[in-house]
Amino acid sequence: EVQLVESGGGLIQPGRSLRLSCVASGFTFDDYVLHWVRQAPGKGLEWVSGISWNSGRIAYADSVKGRFTISRDNAKNSLYLQMNSLRAEDMALYYCVKDYSSNWDEMGIFENWGRGTLVTVST
Amino acid sequence: EIVLTQSPGTVSLSPGERVTLSCRASHSVPRNYVAWYQQRPGQAPRFLIYGASTRGTDIPDRFSGSGSGTDFTLTVSRLEPEDFAVYYCQQYGSSPLTFGPGTKVDFK
């Protein structure tokens, strides 16, 4: 069974930094594209960032480009999101998501989701 | 960026009824790369359909998807109590990946 467990969320002041982590199990971690998708309270879904199996391809939503950095450690079955210069509009539940595909050119099917970690940006 | 619009915003139905949800794209979605997800209250989204019409593993056949170009639909042939939820379409044919705003299916 695929399991994705996020951690690292919490209350943070605007302008500060936070690092989210996701530990995966139940599949061959380094075979798949992985993503972060977020959901603001009471709102819809927003894709944040994706990373290929070997970290050779990375993409970001314009809303986080230049502030957030996605990375992965295949030896630790872990995915990360470094979030800098946090803003009120970054407040959301952040989901770690495994793609259906291992092929970057066909990526973007969000097959398996974690339960999310909540990031609250407030003074 | 491809913007997705979903309609209706909310639909109220009873178990056993059929529902068809619409997803319209601002531009043609390359290769009809559209997926659908279900989100029940307090839960993470659940993957249903990819490639506009292919069900994911273990997704019941009462869920079906269709469409091409800019117009896509998700149909639930007979609503079960657990199907009352929010449904999102999403396109992965073009970066950035984008979602529609969702359609809520609730109890009449």
Task: Give pLDDT, residue A74.
Answer: 97
Q: Cα distance from A83 to chain B (closest Cα, Å)?
A: 19
In one letter, which amino acid is B73?
A: T
Query: Average pLDDT for residues A19-46, to the nearest whole number?
Result: 97
Which among A123, A122, A120 is positioned nearest to A41, based on CA atoms?
A: A120
The pLDDT-based confidence of A28 (bands split at 50, 70, 90) is very high
Task: Give pLDDT, residue B93.
Answer: 96
Query: Average pLDDT for residues B33-56, to the nearest whole number?
Result: 97
Find chain B residues with C-beta within 8 A of A116's C-beta: 44
Which of B39, B44, B50 minimises the CB distance to A100?
B50
Pick among B2, B39, B55, B92 to test the A interface (most A CBs inside 10 A): B92
Q: Cα distance from B24 to chain A (closest Cα, Å)?
A: 16
Contact yes or no for A123/A14 (Cβ under 8 A) = yes
The pLDDT-based confidence of A1 (bands split at 50, 70, 90) is very high
Pick among A109, A112, A113, A118 to test the B interface (most B CBs inside 10 A): A109
Query: Average pLDDT for residues B64-69, to the nearest whole number?
Result: 98
Query: Average pLDDT for residues B23-50, to the nearest whole number?
Result: 97
Which among A27, A44, A32 is positioned nearest to A95, based on CA atoms?
A: A44
Task: Give pLDDT, residue B52.
Answer: 98
Which of B37, B95, B98 minimises the CB distance to A59?
B95
Q: Cα distance from B67 to chain A (closest Cα, Å)?
A: 17
User: What helix, strand, coil percent values describe chain B, rounded to 5?
Assistant: 5, 50, 45
pLDDT tens digits, one per residue of A82-112: 999 999 999 999 999 999 999 999 999 999 9
Which among A9, A20, A16 is positioned nearest to A49, based on CA atoms?
A: A20
Task: Give pLDDT, residue A84.
Answer: 98
Asked if the C-beta of A27 comes within 8 angstroms of chain B's C-beta atoms, the answer is no
Q: Which two tokens stand for residue B7?
A: 């309609």
Which of B37, B45, B96 minimises the CB distance to A62?
B96
In one letter, which amino acid is B45?
A: P
Pick among A45, A62, A113 to test the B interface (most B CBs inside 10 A): A45
Task: Give pLDDT, residue B63.
Answer: 98
3-state secondary structure (DSSP) of residue A26: coil
Find chain A residues with C-beta within 8 A of B50's C-beta: 100, 109
- Cα A22 to Cα A53, B52, B98: the distances in Å are 15, 29, 22
Find chain B residues with C-beta within 8 A of A113's C-beta: 44-47
